[in-house]
Chains A and B, each alone.
Chain A
Amino acid sequence: MLKEKLLTRKRLIDILFVAAWTVLTAALVLFVLFMLGKNTARKVDKVTLTAALPQESLATLSQGDQAKLYELYGLEESAFDYCILYTAPDIMDVSELLILRGENRESLSAALSALEAHHAEQIRVFEGYGPAQTAQLKAGILYTRGDYLFYAVGPQADALKSAFERTVS
């Protein structure tokens, strides 16, 4: 009787353990699926993506090159498939647009960290004397989606983001 009771108890614990790791594995699979759904992005070439962005927003900015990418963020263009960079010509204007398509995820991850630091530094620089710029910086957009990193600051940031989203979705 006692032996039977013990066996039943052991079986119950066995079932609980299997149920626990099965539920956790299912949660893991759901998380992965969620991340996939959230992060997928179509591969679009540089010319198509640039053309899809609102040209009136870009017209107010100056196009940046490899040297500017390194100067601003310490990033090497060769680590990415391509880079679309626009900055404001006036030093008191904090508008920026950067879209990187990452050659690999490590580069993208490093770029995201570099952009976070750059963004924090910009806020620190303008916080004391540029309330308008600080507000724009605080409303800045920085995120990764699939192979892309998107960073935009300025009054046109939302429009640029919408165009980017439409193009890569």
Chain B
Amino acid sequence: MVFSSLYFLFLFLPVVLGLYYAAPRVLKNPLLLIASIVFYAWGEPIYVILMILSILINYVLGLDIARHEGVGRKVRLIVAVALNLLVLGFFKYYGFVTETVGALFGLETGAVALPLPIGISFYTFQALSYIIDVYRDKVTAQRDLISFALYITMFPQLIAGPIVQYKDIEAQMHHRPFDLLQVTSGAERFILGLAKKVLLANTLGQLATAMQGDAKVGMLGAWLGLFAYTMQIYFDFSGYSDMAIGMGAMFGFTFLENFNYPYIADSITDFWRRWHMSLSGWFRDYVYIPMGGNRVRTWRHILNLLTVWALTGLWHGASWNFVLWGLYYGVLLLVEKYLLKDFLPRLPRALRHIYTLAVVMVSWVFFAFTDPSAGLRYFGALVGVSGLGAEAVYSLLNYGVLLLIGGICCTPLVYKYYRRLSEKIPYISSLLAILALLLSVAFLVHDTFNPFLYFRF
């Protein structure tokens, strides 16, 4: 089920919220768990079995790890990590690996492809963080199966994150006091996310798709399409995160932030402190630091960073373009760390922003095209191989205002003035939220289907 669907907005969410608030405290977690399973089963009935098996295995192994010390503990950790990675690897990467092996050795592998279970990358990473933290004694193994299952399946963030680490919500699993202010601010945040997705991402996506799908796109059109895609992916994904965080708040949970205005970053290092923070935090805590992080020799640090970024790319999809996308960032981060460390901070601030934005925009070409020939063709268009393509001026005129609004909304300016206004005029934030909701619903009624881009991960 998609958050930005009328079924979800006017049936599923109100019913679940109503039952949740009416339920006595002891029934709140079981109710939320049932709702989460129904939510998942709506689109993926068969894969609910996979998710339940994953929950049971991690629950049992978590308890078993906590009962042991020494080698026995380590063996159980290895079993748990291997099982999680094997399941993820099989469903997400089996086809990719067999196809790659087949292509390398000229073999007819008879690749078997299974549809990707939605959200598997997110819930597997959550399970892994729990298992590793139990092993490290950072959290206590959860004895209550319902609470553990709820941690894995919680529908606000099940499908596309943010990746919630168990240690961040351990206490909230059992104690979530009802706070009306938190509920209303959660609802406002949810609507903000909905508006980002429906009003901005979907509309900008039309321009991006038109340009990306045009084999004869010129330089102007290619840049216009790339600019639109740059904003689409931000509003789409950060919109989803806003909705997840907002819904979490409505159910009494506090999820950590996932975005912090990434397009105002003044370096790539800064960008990755602001973009999909829950994923970069996960890789930092569970891959990069255990590998030695930066407290190793230079060659080893380079290897660590490139490994982490190749994995980050691969996490996004079983395709070489994602690996390239990850390595592109790995190399850029190394360049900033070892070559531009003294030079970059001395550049005028505006130049640093332009550099970062240009580099990030180029990275989205790797990201958007799974077909290498289409990606190369688009890169060619960006540098003028297909000519200027003056006809794109028409699209610029059509979408110019939206692009400008999108550009402004990528900065903290709008939120800053919105907050200031809310302080001056009581209830204005609620009125604006209602307006944004009505507008979004009006768009949804007439819209074609627009799933979130990050659903495929």
Contact = CB atoms under 8 A, between A and B. Distances in A.
User: Do A and B come from the same complex?
Assistant: yes
Interface of A: 13-14, 17-18, 20-21, 24-25, 27-28, 31-32, 35-36, 39-43, 66, 70, 73-74, 76, 78-79, 102-110, 112-114, 116-118, 121, 144, 146-147
A105 B451 contact: no
A103 B49 CA distance: 26
B380 to A, nearest CB: 16
Contacts of A17: 60, 63-64, 67
Interface stretch (B112-120, B216-224, B258-266, B297-305): B112-120
Contacts of B60: 17, 20-21, 24
B449 A118 contact: yes
A91 to B, nearest CB: 18
A25 B79 CA distance: 10
A74 B53 contact: no
A110 B116 CA distance: 10
A144 B374 CA distance: 26
A63 B457 CA distance: 33
Nearest to B453: A110
Per CB-CB distance, the 7 closest pairs between chain A and chain B, nearest first, are A106-B456, A117-B449, A105-B116, A147-B113, A17-B64, A74-B448, A24-B57
A114 B455 CA distance: 12
B2 interface: yes
B213 A76 contact: yes
Given A17-B63, A28-B83, A74 B114 contact: no
B213 A78 contact: yes
The A interface, classified by DSSP as helix, strand, loop or mixed, is helix
Contact of A106 (B111, B317, B450): B317
Contact of A40 (B5, B112, B370): B112
Interface in B174-218: 209, 212-213
A76 B209 contact: yes
B115 A109 contact: yes
Nearest to B5: A117
Interface in B440-457: 448-451, 455-457
A66 B54 CA distance: 40
Contacts of B456: 106-107, 109-110
Interface string B101-135: 00000000011111110100000000000000000
A71 to B, nearest CB: 9
Contacts of A42: 110
Contacts of A147: 95, 111, 113
B43 interface: yes
Contacts of A103: 370-371
Nearest to A39: B114
Contacts of B50: 28, 31
A104 B83 contact: no
Contacts of A27: 53
